[in-house]
Structure 1
Amino acid sequence: MFVPKAHNPALAALLILVATAFIAATTLLAKALGTDTLGPPLNPLQISHGRFLFAFTALLSVAAVVRPRISAPHWRLHLGRTLFGWMGVTLMFASVAFIPLSDATAISFLNPVFAMMLAIPLLGEKVGPVRWSAAAIALAGALILLRPTPATFQPAALLALGAACVMGLELIFIKKLSGREPVFQILLVNNMIGLCIATVAVLTVWQPPTAAQWGALAALGLLMACAQTLFVNAMARADASFVAPFSYATLIMAALYDFAGFGVVPDAVSVLGASVILTGALLLAWREGRVRRA
């Protein structure tokens, strides 16, 4: 019988903050792998394959030691969640090779906005004027980051926008999965299915990585597994509306990593666009919290 975690907001906040540092680090590694920093650039499909390969290996090693009890997984929900998660992370890894990490990260924060919109036809949820306003504000921020003028338009930003939309679909499946199965089982099944999908997808683009790239792929997978574990455990210990604002620290971490690793400094447009997206996302998180309490 699955027993929910005890409510502990302080611990949840700490877990999320550590997870944001790990998640931002994975995008930095993806950028290094997708450019010529560590050798010939790897295809995003190969980067996401490495992410699932090493994450699943780490989780499987833990399972061999702790031997968790595995209940019957809801395979259809797991498959849907993992398919969209794999697509989202692959698009995200593709985008960070061309645009600043802070821009890609800020655009990725649109996924709860897309999830809200998709929940109307898929979950039958009703959306009021406050949540529609929050969505409009966040989408305006994304439009700013796209820089929609002939001289400044960033086509690669559309990859990050696509990642946010697909990850919004993933959130729908996560909502359906929440509370059904233990955290570790969800992570293990997710990464197992993800590895199967990624292995088939990478066959046509595989190239031998350099030693440095193998190390970066391993680090990316391990960091993602740790971040997933921390994030899911945080969500189990506090309301989503409380946890969400702390997750936006990923943007700060990504900007710091991008500056330290590649000397990229966010310009005024990046700061403005990210600020507008965060405003909309925080308003949506606040409204979601009030809806749940009501």
Structure 2
Amino acid sequence: MYQARVQNNALAAGLIGVATAFIAATTLMAKALGGDTFGAPLPALQISHGRFLFAFVVIGSATLILRPALERPHWGLHIARTACGWGGITLMFASVAFIPLADATAISFLNPVFAMMLAIPLLGEKVGRIRWSAAAMAMAGAAVLLRPTPDSFQPAALLALGAAMVMGMELIFIKKLARRENPFQILLVNNFIGLGIATLAVLPVWQPPTTAQWAVLAGIGGCMALAQTCFVNAMARADASFVAPFSYATLIFATLYDIAFFGVIPDAVSLLGAAIIIAGAVLLALREARLKPEPPRPTTAV
């Protein structure tokens, strides 16, 4: 039996802020592993494998300690959701090896736009003019970040765009799962299945990591597990429409990390593209809140 959590918007906002710092940290570490900072560059498939391996270790350990109530999972939805999540994070890790963290992060904010588009055929949702306008704004921002000129076009940015599309599909499955299962169980099953998929995918390209690379891979998994825990707890204490805008703080942390660790300062094109995407995404979130306020639902926080 789920137990309703007391609504606390201030705590939810703080938890999302912490989650965004951890999420940006995972892309920072993935960028370092994709380069030669800690040894020979690791393939994106191996980085995503480390993410699922160590996240499962953290969440699995928490399960053994806390012993939450678990029930029979809907395996079909979990497999579809996790396959999309694995594909999205792998594409994201591949992109940050070649383009600034801030650009890749901004493009990833298109995932709710793609989720909105996919919700039309898959969930039967209706989309009005304002929501289409918000989507058009966000896509225009992505076009700016892609820099579609012969001299400045960034092919690797297409990887981040692909990540946003796949993660948009993942949101559809998350919506369906959230109506059925305990959030703790969703995290546990997601990382269990993800580890299986990532292990099979990494076998052809796996290479022995250095000691430092193992430590960074563990850091990615740990940060992702902590980010997921903070996010689930935030969602348990506030409506999604309130929480969503705070997730854009990821871009702030990604920019700061890029400056601090790689000396990459965003140029005017990056700032303009990111601003347009965020404006469109915020407009979409506000419209969703007005159209269909989310009633508080019973849940169990981790």
- Indicate whether the TM-score tops 0.5: yes
In 2: Cα distance, 1:183 partner to 1:3 partner: 12
- Superimposed CA distance per residue, residues 201-234 of structure 1 (whole angstroms, 9 cap, x where no aligned partner): 0000000001110000000000000001111221
Matched, 1:205 2:169: no
Match of 2:181 in 1: 181
Q: Is the 8 A contact 1:141 1:273 kept in 2?
A: yes
1:138 aligns to what? Answer: 138
| 1:74, distance to aligned residue in structure 2 (A) | 1.1
User: What does residue 300 of structure 2 align with?
Assistant: none
Aligned to 1:216: 216
Aligned residue in 2 for 1:262:
262
Q: How many pairs align?
A: 294
Match of residue 109 from structure 1: 109
Are the equivalent residues in 2 in contact too, given 1:4–1:179 (CA < 8 A)? no
Quote the RMSD (CA, aligned, Å).
0.9
Cα deviation, 1:87-114, whole Å, max 9, x if unaligned, reads 0000000000000000000000000000
Shift of 1:239: 1.4
1:124 matched to which residue of 2?
Answer: 124
| Partner residue in 2 for 1:290 | 290
- Runs of 4 or more above 3 Å deviation: none
Corresponding residue number in structure 1 for 2:34: 34
1:246 matched residue in structure 2: 246
For residues 120 and 179 of structure 2, the distance between their equivalents in structure 1, rounded to whole angstroms, comes to 21
Give the SS at the match of 1:38.
coil
Deviation string 1:27-82 (CA, Å, 9 cap, x unpaired) is: 00000000111110000000000000000011111111111221111111111110
1:164 correspondence with 2:164: yes
> How far 1:178 sits from its partner (Å)?
1.0
Amino acid at match of 1:217: L
The letter for the 1-side match of 2:24 is A
Q: Which amino acid aligns with 2:23?
A: I
AA of the residue aligned to 1:286? L
Partner of residue 88, structure 2: 88
Secondary structure in 2 aligned to 1:214? Answer: helix
SS of match in other structure, 1:73: coil
CA contact 2:52–2:194 (8 Å) conserved in 1: yes
Judge conservation of contact 2:17–2:249 (CA < 8 Å) in 1.
yes
How far apart, in 1, do the equivalents of 2:61 and 2:239 lie?
Answer: 30
What are the Cα deviations for residues 247-287 of structure 1, in whole angstroms up to 9, with x where unaligned? 00000000000111100000000000000000000000000
Identity of aligned residues (%): 73
**Aligned residue runs from structure 1 range 186-197, under 5 A:** 186-197=186-197
SS in 2 for 1:248: helix
For the Cα contact (< 8 Å) 2:241–2:293, is it kept in 1?
A: no
Separation in 2, partners of 1:212, 1:143: 37
CA distance in 2, matches of 1:141, 1:113: 12
**Aligned partner letter, 1:68:** P
**Aligned equivalents of 2:181, 2:7: Cα separation in 1:** 18
Give, in whole Å, the separation in 2 of the partners of 1:92 and 1:168. Answer: 13
**Matched residue type, 1:24:** A
Which residue of the partner structure matches residue 271 of structure 2?
Answer: 271
The letter of the residue matching 1:85 is G
- 1:99 aligned residue: 99
Shift in Å, 1:3? 2.8
Give the C-alpha shift of residue 293 in structure 1.
Answer: 2.9
Normalising by structure 2, we get a TM-score of 0.96
Unaligned runs of 5+ in 1: none
Cα 1:217–1:33 change in 2 (3 A) is same
8 Å CA contact retained: 1:2, 1:181: no
Name the amino acid aligned to 2:208: P
Shift of 1:4: 3.5
Deviation (angstroms), 1:6: 2.5
Unaligned stretches of 5+ residues in structure 2: 295-302
